[in-house]
Chain A
Amino acid sequence: MTTPEQDQEFVTLVSGDGYEFILPRSTACISKTLRMMFDPLSKFSEALTGRCVLENISGEVLEKVCEYLCYNEKNKDQVNVPDMEIPPELCLELLMAADYLDV
């Protein structure tokens, strides 16, 4: 999928308020939106720099999103998937983020 010169192992997600989260590319690409952004064939600037600024997602929510992406990556082959705890106050924002990131 990736061409050799752009085959970065990690990508950086930046929240609207400036927090940076560095994830393995494969983990971030669970999100279909991020996968398209980081698709090297797309020639998006995100794909070239490996850095994606998500203006409309706050650091707190993005942290939870990254936690989910890791949780998904870790459990993708599991039969008994443990539950992931979400604080109720983040639910709606997280739902918006999930909608945007398509996860």
Chain B
Amino acid sequence: MDPTLDPPLPPPPRRIHHRASPTRRRDHYQNNHNHHYRLTATATARSRCDDRSSQPSSDPAFFSSDDVPGSGGLENYTAGSAAGAGAGAGAATHTAHQHHHHASGAGGLAGTRKRRYRGTWWGEKMMSSGGHQPQGQEGAKRNKRVDWREKRLVDSGVWMGSDDSLAGGFLGSDASWGEEVWGQFVGEGEGKGEGVDGKGIGIGIGIGIGRRGEEGERMFDEPREHQIARAIVNDCLERGDDSVDLSGGNLRSIPSGLLRPLQHLTKLPAIKEPPVTEDVYTSLEPFLRLFLAGNALPKLCGELFELDTLRVLSLRNNKLTEIPAAIRRLTMLQEVNLSVNRLRSLPWELLWLIRKGDLKHLTVRPNPLLQIDDGAHDPEAAVAEWHVPREELRSCVYEGPAPEQAWAPVHVATGPVRRYNAEGVLLLPPAGSSSQPVGTAMELDAPSDTDPDPDTNPQDRPCPTPLPPAASRVPSLREVALLSLTRSPSFDLLSDAELAGYPALMLRLLRDAREVRAAGGRSCSVCHRGFVLARTEWIEWWDCSTYENGLKGPRPSGEGLRPLPFRRLGCSWGCVPGAEI
């Protein structure tokens, strides 16, 4: 007995289990003798294969009530300890002595067989006695780590009766037991899989199982391109690859739950082999890049904007008509590619990212963007106020090193403000709604006292323009209610059928609110308050040519400006160009 191989053990448990198996007593005796020698020789190398040879094919039933009070387990243990090489001798000593005692001296207990424990009461572990061998396949490869898990199982109380069947099934070789658990999980159904999860045997594996389970469910009704996209994302997550390439995947929408896990993407250290040099030390913070180019996305989902560590976003060659204002939440964005889409204007928040955020490279052309020269034909592109001389449209003239303003975005012009009433209806133009403002620009300076009649369809009548004397910034009650609704999780639970019961006007508001929610919410470009229905809207023209070429150089002196249309939305009639915050 080698006292160095086993750590000192606390006193053994009082509770000793016995098993009635008179017919196998002799077998056990020999078996355990055999075992004793093995343990004596190697102390830790327990083999199940040897024992298996002498086993019957099945176990008798085992109940904890099989305890025999008179068995004197504690005394046995004490004797064993005393006779052994002290506490350090470990379990091999205990068990061996117990069995000597039991087999030779405990005549009154004929027909019982002890189950032997090793270790502390809180982590009692069954010794590998013959009767409890899984007749299993992987027995030979058991090692310490696996033993520890079995200890947990035995201790749990839930697994007492079935520890043989299940534990034997999945406690396999160390390297492959994850796979075996998975196999077991598939074979035995979800209940046991969850059991494995619940026991906390390795959290990593637990999560793995969960994810695979979910995937399994999704597989049934998902289009193939979604499955492929999920596979790519999962692969990136597993390999710690922070460049997620979903381009050219024929995605028509971004399935829910696809992008969210990328928030937690963690890079893996590059060091694989011992020669560690200075340059293998790299940041493990992911430089998250998402490529959605070459899909057929008509709109973006709010989930995309939860990836607050996103650095590079490519949406090239899609069918986007609008970039949601929620892009502002991606404050770490450095490079955005929006070219080859159907954008008529850009969200104001992109400019905010350029000026206040980290955005250095913005690619937006080609897109059917509004052109500042088209004001005569296209009312949306009209200009109310020029901030640089209209005839010039050139950057500053300078000599020598480029001044600051040769780099910075230049505010070229501001378009007319369109106002919407509390129902989200564009005022005065003959037709239009908040989502698709069309029609001609009208004079907005004709206040009228007649109130819009809420019963008629807003699409059918021109809205008079009741401009308030002093534009209040208080949101309307509709707005307050809608905003609260979009922020409540129960909004998603409202079915279309339920919605259909509401009046048409409300239905439109609710649909708008749902779209806003799906796109990740809006916030006022003036006061930053969250809102649902825009009350004001205007275009600001800014030249960002230095950012369009990735800040490679300043504008050349006197170069012509190429302003981009940025659409700004305000949450109240008080939020207009030049309003103080």
Quick check: is A43 within 8 A (CB to CB) of the other chain?
A: no
CB 8 Å contact bits of B497-509 with A (1 = contact, 0 = none)? 0000011011001
Quick check: is B495 within 8 A (CB to CB) of the other chain?
A: no
Query: Are A95 and B490 touching (Cβ within 8 A)?
Result: no
Quick check: is A53 within 8 A (CB to CB) of the other chain?
A: no
CB within 8 Å of B: which of A1-46? 32, 36
Q: Which of B472, B488, B510 contacts A88 (CB 8 A)?
A: B488
Quick check: is A57 within 8 A (CB to CB) of the other chain?
A: no
Query: Are B451 and A79 touching (Cβ within 8 A)?
Result: no
A50 to B502, CA, bound (A): 31
A-B contact count (CB 8 A): 84
The 3 closest A-B pairs by CB, nearest first: A88-B488, A86-B484, A98-B477
Q: Say whether, besides A96-B506, A99-B503, A76 and B474 are in contact (CB < 8 Å).
A: yes
Interface size, chain B (Cβ < 8 Å): 31
CB 8 Å contact bits of A62-103 with B (1 = contact, 0 = none)? 000100100110011111110111111111101111111111
A89 to B481, CA, bound (A): 10
A72 to B484, CA, bound (A): 17
Residues of A close to B502: CB separation below 8 A? 92, 96
Residue in chain B with minimal CB distance to A78: B473
Residue in chain B with minimal CB distance to A71: B474
Residue from A32, A78, A95 with most neighbouring chain B CB atoms (10 Å): A95
Quick check: is B49 within 8 A (CB to CB) of the other chain?
A: no
Query: Are A99 and B473 touching (Cβ within 8 A)?
Result: no
CB within 8 Å of A: which of B62-92? none
A87 to B477, CA, bound (A): 13
Residues of A close to B506: CB separation below 8 A? 95-96, 99
Query: Are A95 and B470 touching (Cβ within 8 A)?
Result: no
Residues of B close to A92: CB separation below 8 A? 481, 485, 502
Residues of A close to B409: CB separation below 8 A? none
Residues of A close to B473: CB separation below 8 A? 75, 78-79, 81
Residues of B close to A65: CB separation below 8 A? 477
Residues of A close to B451: CB separation below 8 A? 32, 36, 102
Residue from B478, B490, B502, B527 with most neighbouring chain A CB atoms (10 Å): B478
Residues of B close to A88: CB separation below 8 A? 484-485, 487-488, 490-491
A85 to B488, CA, bound (A): 12
Residue in chain B with minimal CB distance to A65: B477
Quick check: is B480 within 8 A (CB to CB) of the other chain?
A: yes
A97 to B480, CA, bound (A): 12
